[in-house]
Structures are given as C-alpha cells and as structure tokens.
Amino acid sequence: GQNIDQPTEMTATEGAIVQINCTYQTSGFNGLFWYQQHAGEAPTFLSYNVLDGLEEKGRFSSFLSRSKGYSYLLLKELQMKDSASYLCAVRDRADSSYKLIFGSGTRLLVRP
C-alpha cells in the first residue's frame, strides 16, 4: 500500500530553525517533493529529492533517505511569512505512469 505520514502541526519562533519530518511507504518510489501551501492558496513547489542526501536552496533544505523511507524539510531563519502548510509528496510509479501522492500536510505556525 501507500502511506505518507507527517506531523499535523508545529509551532516555532521567528528567526529559529524548524525541521518537518515525513515518512513514507510506497511500492514504486521515484522521488519526493515538498510543497508550501498558504491558507486559501495553491500549493507551490519548494524542493525535489530523488537521491539520498541534502538539497539546499536558500533558507530551505530538504533531505532524503530512501533506505529509511524518510525525508525532512529544514527551514532556517524563520520568518512570519513561513506560516503555512508544508506538504510532502511522493512520486510513485505504477504500471507505466507516475503520480504524486500527497501527505496530509504539516501546518506550521511561526510566532514573533
């Protein structure tokens, strides 16, 4: 089966660092995406990992361990505007097609 788990909510302080974890179980893993979604808006792409290791992009970094079925999104120097939901999505290969399977998202609240 397919399963993606993320914490439901997290709270952090402006200027701090926060790590949002994602664990997954899929039969045809072919990459992992992180998306950011502000309330009432569309999800927007943050990062993509297909190989093990850390991908850094400005204040955001994403890590993947395929053997452990685990990823995390690291947000540094938190800003108030980072308050949003963060969605982990696995690219799963089934037959001859791919699809993105989303977790339920982690709602991050950044406090002053």
Name the residues that contact other proteins, by CB under 8 A: 30-31, 33, 37, 41-45, 48, 85, 87, 89, 91, 93, 97-102, 104-105, 107
88: nearest Cα among 108, 73, 67 = 73
- In the bound state with other proteins, the residue whose beta carbon lies nearer, of 56 and 77, is 56
CB of 35 to other proteins, least distance (A): 8
Min. distance of Cβ 53 from other proteins in angstroms?
A: 19
- Distance CA(77)–CA(56), nearest Å, equals 14
Q: Which is nearer to other proteins, 16 or 100 (CB)?
A: 100
Q: What is the DSSP letter of 96?
A: T
Handedness of CA 74, 36, 14, 9 (dihedral sign): negative
